Amino acid sequence: MNEAAPMTLPAAPIDSRGILARLRESRLLLGMVFLFPAAVILLVFLTYPLGLGIWLGFTDTQIGRPGIFIGLENYEDLWTDSVFWLAVFNTILYTVVASVVKFALGLWLALILNERLPFKAFFRAIVLLPWVVPTVLSAIAFWWIYDAQFSIVSWSLIRLGIIDRPINFLGDPTLARASVIAANIWRGIPFVAITLLAGLQTISPSLYEAATLDGANGWQRFRHVTLPMLTPIIAVVMTFSVLFTFTDFQLIYVLTRGGPVNATHLMATLSFQRAIPGGHLGEGAAIAVAMIPFLLAAILFSYFGMQRRRWQQGGRD
């Protein structure tokens, strides 16, 4: 506001001009005009639901009954709720394991795709496939793959004589956790791989040649050229990947609905479970709000992670 004031001042004494002319002079007003549509969209579709969610978390609203403000009661309840804490644990486990594996496999795939290989375009298209298929569709596919009786994995292993009865993928708590994580990894790899590939392609080949002449072997070229040049993109990709994974809902909901015995409940699915089928909108909202600090932490982490790259910012010392 302060900065804009001097710009509008010169226009003020000349009142004889039309309002349109003055509008054109004023950067502040003009800026507001242009900002308006975007601001409305943000307010209606982002700020309002978010605000409503936060507000609901402080009430005991149920479906069909408006609630009253009850302060932190929902959060106090959650604090002693073992299912909630299990969901927090599950979410963190799910996010950490899936993200780490997605990063490792995605980077590996990107490095392979960046090499000269035959049918490059074909392979790149294939890699994108899991990302293009709607989540629910791929979740249903995985549902079949993990089916207690008709699982193709079990069938193959039995045929090969490695096991003698079907694996109960989604029935056993540990197996169920591993299964949903695997499905999430499958789905998330393309995003990581393709984005990192785009990053790899911006690295000038002459840097590798210079490093080769400087005596670097393959690993040293990766360590001293590829990795540092890729760090900024890795930071962005992994931030998004972590956010997507942390808030994942569809895969879990289709595959396990949080079961068995809540072993695969994530915060997002638990929040939905409590709010809609369970009817306790307030409590569900409180769980959702509890995700915010984690997400903020992830964003801040990558923000500061990216800030330290001084070499990218030219000009100043």
Partner 1 sequence: MANVSIRDVRKAYGATEVIHGVSIDIADGEFVVLVGPSGCGKSTLLRMIAGLEQITGGHIAIGERVVNNLPPKERDIAMVFQNYALYPHMTVSQNMAFSLRLRGAPKSEIEASVRRAAEILGLLPLLERYPRQLSGGQRQRVAMGRAIVRNPQVFLFDEPLSNLDAKLRVAMRTEIKELHQRLKTTTVYVTHDQVEAMTMADKIVVMHDGIVEQMGSPLDLYDQPDNIFVAGFIGSPSMNFLKGRVADDGSATFRAEGGAVLPLASVPEGAAGRAAVYGIRPEHIDLSDDGVPAEVTVVEPTGSEIQVFAKIGDEQITAIFRERHRFEPGATIRLAPERDQVHLFDAETGKRLGGLVQDDKQPSDRRMKSGGR
Question: How many other C-beta atoms lie within 10 A of the C-beta of residue 74?
Answer: 25
Nearer to partner 1, 20 or 213 (CB): 213
Nearer to partner 1, 120 or 308 (CB): 308
Binding mask 228-267 for partner 1 (x = CB under 8 A): xx--------------------------------------
| Tokens linked to 13 | 């004494």
Total number of residues that touch partner 1 (CB under 8 A):
25
Q: Which of 48, 209, 261, 308 binds partner 1 (CB under 8 A)?
A: 209
Residue 218 beta carbon to partner 1: minimum distance, rounded to whole angstroms: 11
Residue 118 touching partner 1 (CB under 8 A): no
Closest CA to 289 of 46, 57, 47: 57
Q: What does residue 296 show for φ and ψ, rounded to 5 degrees? A: -60, -40
Which residues lie below 8 Å from residue 33, measured CB to CB, with a gap of 6+?
23
Residue 314 beta carbon to partner 1: minimum distance, rounded to whole angstroms: 4
Residue 215 touching partner 1 (CB under 8 A): yes
Residue 183 touching partner 1 (CB under 8 A): no
Residue 218 touching partner 1 (CB under 8 A): no
Q: CB of 275 within 8 A of CB of 281?
A: yes
Q: What does residue 115 show for φ and ψ, rounded to 5 degrees? A: -75, 165
Q: Which of 206, 218, 219, 293 binds partner 1 (CB under 8 A)?
A: 206
Q: Interface residues for partner 1 in 257-316 (CB under 8 A)?
A: 309-316
Distances from the Cα of 36 to the Cα of 31, 42, 43, 209, angstroms? 9, 10, 10, 51
Q: Which of 181, 211, 266, 288 binds partner 1 (CB under 8 A)?
A: 211
Tell me the three state secondary structure of residue 201: helix
Q: CB of 182 within 8 A of CB of 170?
A: no
Task: Tell me which residues touch partner 1 (CB under 8 A).
Answer: 204, 206-207, 209-216, 220, 224-225, 228-229, 309-317
